[in-house]
């Protein structure tokens, strides 16, 4: 129970700030409109006047209330950005950030901020995106906010499934599973958001790779304690918060894994294995891939101060093929990444920085670090690298 108290306290704090502002309706619902009839006032359809609850792909008894009402954990709708020089006054090299590059623009979203807001509705270049982070699953995804001719604004519903954030859009009030980017309730049912590759890395690595990048500012208008962790020691929990499904015991519940789909095949690379090998040449679903690990990123869900938490490192997954040539990578004792075929030197962002292939960029696969229990809940047949 020790590990749950910070989470519950965080939810109560957010709820107390938001409850009076949002108000509460006791409007009667029909059976179809109100699948939660008789449950807590914090978890009903009083807020969901436009949600078509007759359309759903999930069982409603899989959905649990996290406590806050819709947007009780407030998303950032008008994000402000600052230069690296300004960000360096409060971020450390090991500060974890979600790095995104689109339309030749690079932006860093510190988990020090995302942990408190979970969603940033932003536009990078010409692309409207939802930058999302679910602290309970340690899962970060970046989605295109366009569906047909509509540009959606996403919020935090306050509801969870498999402990994972359920988002909502403000046009139809459909519910969207953050882990999959799919609408699971409402008139957008079955719609799949386009996802973009992103990397959780250390701020220092981001600065080195993108010296002209921009960083999400603490000037959000909400005044949270950015840099503190409201989920103290959660990455050591053996009992994930509001997780009702059976745990997959192949790995510890909150083991960090780099996981993604290669075609239809899910694969997970445990961080202890990545840390030991640093470079993994693999073939998944007949696709040659490269998993890389590098130190320099603190856990956002460890100690009370994010920057002072354990350096768990960061990892990324690439297709290890350039112009039809499959490359085999090594990491020498000095930590230099090379391919055996051309002896080109590469960095952990998959960029060739010296040698025959200098300037080449490996294709970044859509894979991200997650807690094992969450990834396994959404892909029960996933392959664990290094397991028998």
d(CA 150, CA 253) in angstroms, rounded, equals 38
Tokens of 189: 């049912």
Task: Decide if 380 is inside a domain.
Answer: yes
Q: Mind listing the pLDDT tens digit for each residue in 68-88?
A: 889 999 999 999 999 999 999
Task: Decide if 107 is inside a domain.
Answer: no
Tokens of 82: 């600052």
Please, what is the Cα angle at 298 between 293 and 304, to 5 degrees?
Answer: 155
User: What is the structure's pLDDT at 388?
Assistant: 65
Nearest CA to 157 out of 48, 32, 11 is that of: 48
d(CA 298, CA 311) in angstroms, rounded, equals 4
d(CA 56, CA 175) in angstroms, rounded, equals 9
The answer to whether 190 and 147 have CB atoms below 8 angstroms apart is: no
d(CA 75, CA 318) in angstroms, rounded, equals 30
Q: Mind listing the pLDDT tens digit for each residue in 42-70?
A: 666 778 889 999 999 999 989 998 888 89
Task: Decide if 224 is inside a domain.
Answer: no
Q: Is the pLDDT of residue 173 over 90?
A: yes
d(CA 353, CA 356) in angstroms, rounded, equals 9
Alpha carbon distances (Å) from 2 to 136, 174, 264, 274: 16, 35, 39, 30
d(CA 330, CA 280) in angstroms, rounded, equals 8
Tokens of 93: 């090299």
In this prediction, residues 349-367 reach a mean pLDDT of 97
The answer to whether 176 and 190 have CB atoms below 8 angstroms apart is: no
User: What is the structure's pLDDT at 2?
Assistant: 34
Average pLDDT, the chain: 90
User: What is the structure's pLDDT at 223?
Assistant: 85
Residues 6+ apart with CB under 8 A from 78: 221
Tokens of 246: 């059976």
Q: How many domains does the chain have?
A: 1
Task: Decide if 306 is inside a domain.
Answer: yes
Instruction: Give 6 or 303, the one with higher predicted confidence.
Output: 303
d(CA 219, CA 223) in angstroms, rounded, equals 8
Q: Is the pLDDT of residue 164 over 90?
A: yes
Confidence of residue 37 (pLDDT cuts 50, 70, 90): confident
Task: Decide if 65 is inside a domain.
Answer: no
Q: Is the pLDDT of residue 166 over 90?
A: yes
Q: Mind listing the pLDDT tens digit for each residue in 301-327?
A: 999 999 999 999 999 999 999 999 999
d(CA 277, CA 274) in angstroms, rounded, equals 5
Q: What percent of the chain has pLDDT over 70?
A: 90
pTM for this entry:
0.91
Strands 214-216 and 105-110, by their bridges, are parallel
In this prediction, residues 260-271 reach a mean pLDDT of 96
Q: Is the dihedral of CA 290, 194, 137, 101 positive or negative?
A: positive
- Choose the weakest-confidence range: 18-22, 168-172, 341-345: 18-22
User: What is the structure's pLDDT at 290?
Assistant: 98
Residues 6+ apart with CB under 8 A from 211: 84
Q: Mind listing the pLDDT tens digit for each residue in 90-145?
A: 999 999 999 999 999 999 999 999 999 999 999 999 999 999 999 999 999 999 99
Tokens of 7: 């989470």
Residues 6+ apart with CB under 8 A from 380: 248
Nearest CA to 364 out of 187, 185, 209 is that of: 209
User: What is the structure's pLDDT at 31?
Assistant: 56
Tokens of 31: 């059976």
Nearest CA to 230 out of 48, 32, 9 is that of: 9
Residues in the chain: 388
Task: Decide if 81 is inside a domain.
Answer: no
Residues 6+ apart with CB under 8 A from 181: 141, 143, 192, 193, 194, 195
* Beta strand ranges found along 135-245 (DSSP E): 139-144, 146-147, 150-151, 154-161, 164-169, 175-177, 182-185, 195-196, 199-202, 214-216
Confidence of residue 40 (pLDDT cuts 50, 70, 90): low
Task: Decide if 278 is inside a domain.
Answer: yes
Tokens of 319: 């297709």
d(CA 337, CA 331) in angstroms, rounded, equals 5
Could you tell me the residue range of the domain that residue 335 belongs to? 239-384
User: What is the structure's pLDDT at 6?
Assistant: 45
Task: Decide if 76 is inside a domain.
Answer: no
User: What is the structure's pLDDT at 372?
Assistant: 98
d(CA 115, CA 82) in angstroms, rounded, equals 19
Convert 45-72 to b/e letters by CB count within 10 Å (16 or more is b): bbbbeebbbebbebeeeebbbbbbbbbb
């Amino acid at each position: 129970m020790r590990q749950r108290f910070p989470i519950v306290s965080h939810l109560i704090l957010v709820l107390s700030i938001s409850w009076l502002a949002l108000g509460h309706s006791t409007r009667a619902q029909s059976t179809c409109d109100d699948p939660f009839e008789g449950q807590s006032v914090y978890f009903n359809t009083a807020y969901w006047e436009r949600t078509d609850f007759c359309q759903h792909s999930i069982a409603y008894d899989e959905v649990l209330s996290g406590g806050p009402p819709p947007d009780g954990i407030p998303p950032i709708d008008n994000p402000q950005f600052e230069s690296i020089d300004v960000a360096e006054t409060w971020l450390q090299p090991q500060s974890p950030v979600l790095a995104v590059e689109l339309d030749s623009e690079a932006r860093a979203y510190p988990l020090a901020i995302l942990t408190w807001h979970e969603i940033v509705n932003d536009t990078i270049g010409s692309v409207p995106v939802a930058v999302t982070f679910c602290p309970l699953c340690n899962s970060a995804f970046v989605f295109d906010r366009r569906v047909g001719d509509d540009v959606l604004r996403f919020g935090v519903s306050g509801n969870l499934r498999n402990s994972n954030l359920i988002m909502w859009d403000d046009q139809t009030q459909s519910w969207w599973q953050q882990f999959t980017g799919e609408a699971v309730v409402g008139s957008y049912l079955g719609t799949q958001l386009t996802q973009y590759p992103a990397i959780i890395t250390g701020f220092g690595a981001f600065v080195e790779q993108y010296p002209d990048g921009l960083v999400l500012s603490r000037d959000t208008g909400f005044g949270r304690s950015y840099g503190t962790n409201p989920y103290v020691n959660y990455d050591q929990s053996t009992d994930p918060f509001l997780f009702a499904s059976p745990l997959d015991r192949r790995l510890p519940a909150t083991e960090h894994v780099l996981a993604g789909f290669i075609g239809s095949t899910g694969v997970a690379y445990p961080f202890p294995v990545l840390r030991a090998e640093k470079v993994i040449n693999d073939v998944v679903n007949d696709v040659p891939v490269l998993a890389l690990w590098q130190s320099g990123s603190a856990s956002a869900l460890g100690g009370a101060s994010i920057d002072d938490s354990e350096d768990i490192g960061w990892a990324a997954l690439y297709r290890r093929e350039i112009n039809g040539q499959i490359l085999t990578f090594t990491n020498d004792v000095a930590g230099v990444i090379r391919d055996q075929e051309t002896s080109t030197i590469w960095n952990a962002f998959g960029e060739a920085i010296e040698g025959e292939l200098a300037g080449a960029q490996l294709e970044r696969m859509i894979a991200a670090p997650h807690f094992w229990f969450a990834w396994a809940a959404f892909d029960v047949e996933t392959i664990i690298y290094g397991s028998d």
